[in-house]
Every structure is written in C-alpha cells, then in structure tokens.
C-alpha cells in the first residue's frame, strides 16, 4: 500500500468511525483533560468532531488541531462508557498518524518539541531494548556513587525533561540469573527459568523496554512466584518493545514492525500464554495479536496470534499450586491504583485486589479517583508536563488521605510517575506481585 493509499484509507476510517459518535456527552465527566480545561475541544466528542472535519477537508490541520490531539492521554475512559462503542483509541492513533503524514510545514510545527535526542532514543534505544539491557551496569554505578542525586540537586538539569526522567528512575536491580551463557551475559535474563517442584505449565514472559531496566524487581518477582507455583517461564531474546510509544505518537509503521517481531518471537516457543506485568504493554500486545488495531494504516497484518496475552494478576488468580506455598502475614494497609489500560481496556482491575487478598492480615482498599488518569500516560508527562502534573496532584492527595503504607499499581509508567511525587514520604509504590513475592520469601 502506497503512502497516498494509506492516507486515503486512514481518512476513510476516521470519517466512518467518527460518524458513529452521537455526541451524547456521556464521556465528558470521564475525560481527564475535559475536567481540567472544561473545553469542548479537549473532550472525546470534541476531538472526534475535529478529526472528522480534518479527514473530510472541512477544517484545516493546523497547530490548534495538533494541540488538542496532543492533549489526549489515550486513557480510553471514554470507550468504557460510550453507548455506541466508538473505538476512540484507534481514532486518536489514526489522527496522530494523519498529523505525521501532513505537509512538512505542519509536521515541523508538530515535531518541534520532539528533538533529535528524543527521536534517537525512541528509534535506537526503545525500539531495540537489548541496548537498554547494556545500560544496566553503568546506571547502577551512576546511582551507587550518588550521581543521580547530585544531578537532581544541581541546577544543571533544572526544569528540563531530562530532569523529569532522572527523578523517576528507581534503583536499578539485576535480573535473576544463575547461568553464565553468552545470551545471559548479553541481556542479564535467562531463556528459561525452570519450575520448582511439580511442573504445572509453561508460560512466556514479556519484558518490555523501559521495564526490563527500571522494573526488574517486578519481573524478578513474577518469575519467583510463577516458578514456585510450578510454572516454567520462557523469555525469548528476540522480543522487543511492545510499540505503544511509537503507535500513540503516530508512527504506525514502527508499531507494526515491533508487533510482528514480538509475535514471531513468542510463536517460536510454541507456548500459548504470554504474561505481561505492565498493563500498557498488555493492551498493545493483546490488540495487536487479535487484529484490533487499524488495518487502514497497515498496523496489523491480519494474522491472529496463537498465544493468549494475560496480565500477571489475572493469571495468578486462577493459577494452581497455591496450596504448596507459604505466604507470611503483612499487617499494613495497601491502596490499589487502577491503571487506565488495566481498567478501561483490559477490564482486569479486580484481579490485583483478589491477588493481594492472599496475603494474610493485609488491609486492601481502592485508591480514591481510580476512574481518572494519573497523568503518566506513556510520554505524556514529558509532552504535556503541566496537565500531567495537575492530574498527578489529585493522585498524591488521594494517597495522603488513604493513609496507606503501600500503593499497588500494575503499570510501570504509573508506578514511576506516582512514586516520583512521593519521594519525601514513607509510602512505597510497587506492583501487587512484588508485594506477594516478598511475603513468599523472595530475597
């Protein structure tokens, strides 16, 4: 399909899907940006009307249009309440792809803030996560000798996007590994983690890109719990980034490339279950595997994956082997945060509560405002820092009022962004499976 044909197909899809919106307004109170600005242009139905106008040639694709598309968090809360089941997530992705495909004058205005370093990181690091693995040792040293804190306290990075990233980076941990073959040395991860005791099944584990560096604790905890329940865990080295960052910024072609690479990596294992620990990645993998993403832009090749993508909490709730493990009591309170991707798209928000209930003496409550986004939303906290900060402020207030010792969340982006606002408190933000693994004896 030529670029012209792709553009025409995308515009046709946008018009057809946008016309399904009846502008009822039920989405308005659920949209985080509308609640902040009270502007129709920053609401789902307002954005849909603008998309339709641009795709139909009735309104220009200008800086204002780009601004309102950029302000969308892609939280997809509107989808969960839409009576006509408008697939807004695909609409906003197609709109951003349309912006990228626009004439150079518009594109240059749109991408002015997306500097060369950002483009390089997305294409040469995020899309090639084995390179991220190679950064583990230098970053651990960077943290150990105090350079991270020095940078944050100095004026060198003051009020920059780099400072925002550095402030969110948690202590980087090593992957759990016992062998020393060449692949393990290169990535830190083993290809296979055998079940302990009776083997009850085999699963694949998706590492992601940022998570394999910044959230090794959750990945290690996942392997630990699965092994002790009797599950053999496979980690294919050919897996890559899920592609969400690229797709949501309009680069559908790169999203397609990464989706196909992941599909091939896991199909080679002949395993029917792929575990994800980050709900954002889970949505991307799941929708790519079942052909939910738009074929208008060539994002999906139409093949259905043989594997089932499932969030770790949902898998563990129905897993076998719990009678063979001991879980120590934890007499504290945990507030559960529902990531937008887990709640609005996967609709798996109940499973973290059920999983945490296995820990004796733990008091579990939902974090107030779980129907609203925390503001992280992939790279949104960088691109729309002011809006993101306002949304996070609501979460931080909810955390304070909850008086919880722990905040459990199932998405690494949410975890890092919320935790960066709690650094002066004794509240710990972590994945539900990490808290469970601790009580099961992980070292």
Query: Where residue 109 falls among pLDDT bands split at 50, 70, 90?
Result: low
Q: How far apart are the first and last CA of the chain?
A: 52
pLDDT in tens, 231-289: 999 999 999 999 999 999 888 889 989 999 999 999 988 888 999 999 999 999 998 87
Domains of the chain: 3-110 (1.10.1060.10), 171-318 (3.40.50), 327-439 (3.40.50)
Helix, strand and coil content of the chain, in percent to the nearest 5, comes to 50, 5, 40
What is the C-alpha separation between 244 and 414, in angstroms, rounded? 15
For 67-76, b/e burial (b = at least 16 CB within 10 A) is ebbbbbbbbb
Query: Where residue 290 falls among pLDDT bands split at 50, 70, 90?
Result: low
Q: Could you tell me whether strands 231-234 and 201-205 are parallel, antiparallel, or unpaired per DSSP bridges?
A: parallel
> Quick check: 114 and 100 in contact, CB under 8 A?
no
What tokens appear for 381 in the block? 């906290």
Q: Which of 165, 185, 164, 166 has the alpha carbon at shortest distance from 174? A: 185
Q: Which of 139, 47, 122 has the alpha carbon at shortest distance from 88? A: 47
What strands, in cross-sheet order, belong to the sheet with 333-336?
363-366, 333-336, 406-408, 428-430
pLDDT in tens, 165-188: 777 788 888 888 655 454 554 568
Q: What is the pTM of this model?
A: 0.89
> Quick check: 47 and 57 in contact, CB under 8 A?
no
Query: Where residue 345 falls among pLDDT bands split at 50, 70, 90?
Result: very high
Q: What is the mean pLDDT of the chain?
A: 87
> Quick check: 256 and 230 in contact, CB under 8 A?
no
Q: Which of 96-105, 254-263, 286-295, 313-322 has the highest mean pLDDT?
A: 313-322
Block residue for tokens 């897993």? 319
Instruction: Count CB neighbours of 399 within 10 A.
Output: 21
> Quick check: 367 and 395 in contact, CB under 8 A?
yes
Residues near 5 by beta carbon (within 8 Å), at least 6 away in sequence: none
What tokens appear for 338 in the block? 């529902």
Which backbone phi and psi does 334 adopt, to 5 degrees?
-120, 130
Segments in 43-146 forming alpha helices (H): 44-56, 63-70, 77-81, 88-100, 104-110, 116-121, 130-133, 136-144
Segments in 268-403 forming alpha helices (H): 279-289, 312-318, 340, 351-356, 380-383, 385-402
What is the C-alpha separation between 296 and 150, in angstroms, rounded? 48
What tokens appear for 20 in the block? 């399904």
Which backbone phi and psi does 4 adopt, to 5 degrees?
-65, -45
Residue 394 predicted with pLDDT over 60: yes
What is the C-alpha separation between 193 and 200, in angstroms, rounded? 14
What is the C-alpha separation between 107 and 99, in angstroms, rounded? 7
What is the C-alpha separation between 339 and 7, in angstroms, rounded? 32
pLDDT of residue 187: 63
Q: What's the distance, CA 233 to chain centroid?
A: 22
Instruction: Please name the helix (run of DSSP H) or strand (run of DSSP E) that holds residue 276, with its range, or none.
Output: strand 273-276
Burial environment of residue 415 by CB neighbours within 10 A (0 to 12, 13 to 18, 19 or more): buried
Residue 362 predicted with pLDDT over 50: yes
pLDDT of residue 2: 41
């Amino acid at each position: 399909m030529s670029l012209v044909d792709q553009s025409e197909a995308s515009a046709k899809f946008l018009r057809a899907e946008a016309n399904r919106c009846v502008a009822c307004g039920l989405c308005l109170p659920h949209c985080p940006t509308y609640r902040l600005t009270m502007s129709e242009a920053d609401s789902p139905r307002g954005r849909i009307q603008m998309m339709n106008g641009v795709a139909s040639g009735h309104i220009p694709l200008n800086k204002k249009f780009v601004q309102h598309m950029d302000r969308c968090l892609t939280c997809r809360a509107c989808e969960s309440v839409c009576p006509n089941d408008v697939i807004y997530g695909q609409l906003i992705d197609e709109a951003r792809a349309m912006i990228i495909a626009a004439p150079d004058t518009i594109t240059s205005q749109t991408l002015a803030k997306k500097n060369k370093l950002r483009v390089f990181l997305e294409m040469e690091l995020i899309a090639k996560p084995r390179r991220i693995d190679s950064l583990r040792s230098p970053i651990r040293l960077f943290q150990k000798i105090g350079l991270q804190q020095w940078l944050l306290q100095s004026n060198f990075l003051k009020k920059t996007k780099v400072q925002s990233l550095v402030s969110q980076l948690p202590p980087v941990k090593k992957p759990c590994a016992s062998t020393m073959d060449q692949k393990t040395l290169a990535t830190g991860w083993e290809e296979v983690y055998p079940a302990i005791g009776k083997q009850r099944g085999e699963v694949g584990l998706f590492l992601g890109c940022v998570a394999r560096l910044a959230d090794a604790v959750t990945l290690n905890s996942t392997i630990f719990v699965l092994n002790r329940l009797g599950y053999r865990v496979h980690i294919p080295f050919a897996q890559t980034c899920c592609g969400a960052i690229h797709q949501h910024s309009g680069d559908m072609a790169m999203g397609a490339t990464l989706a196909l690479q992941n599909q091939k990596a896991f199909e080679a294992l002949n395993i029917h279950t792929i575990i994800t620990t980050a709900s954002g990645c889970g949505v991307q993998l799941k929708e790519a595997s079942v052909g939910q993403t738009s074929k208008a832009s060539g994002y999906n090749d139409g093949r259905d994956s043989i594997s089932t993508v499932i969030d770790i909490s949902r898998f563990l709730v129905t897993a076998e082997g719990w009678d063979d493990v001991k879980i120590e009591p934890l007499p504290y309170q945990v507030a559960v945060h529902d990531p937008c991707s887990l709640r609005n798209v996967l609709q798996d928000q109940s499973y973290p509560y059920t999983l945490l209930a296995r820990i004796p003496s733990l008091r579990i409550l939902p974090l107030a405002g779980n129907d609203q986004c925390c503001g992280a939303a992939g790279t949104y906290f960088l691109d729309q820092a002011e809006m993101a900060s306002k949304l996070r402020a609501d979460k931080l207030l909810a955390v304070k009022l909850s008086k919880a010792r722990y905040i459990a969340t199932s998405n690494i982006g949410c975890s890092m962004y919320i935790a960066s606002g709690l650094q002066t408190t004794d509240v710990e933000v972590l994945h539900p499976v990490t808290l469970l693994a601790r009580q099961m004896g992980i070292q």
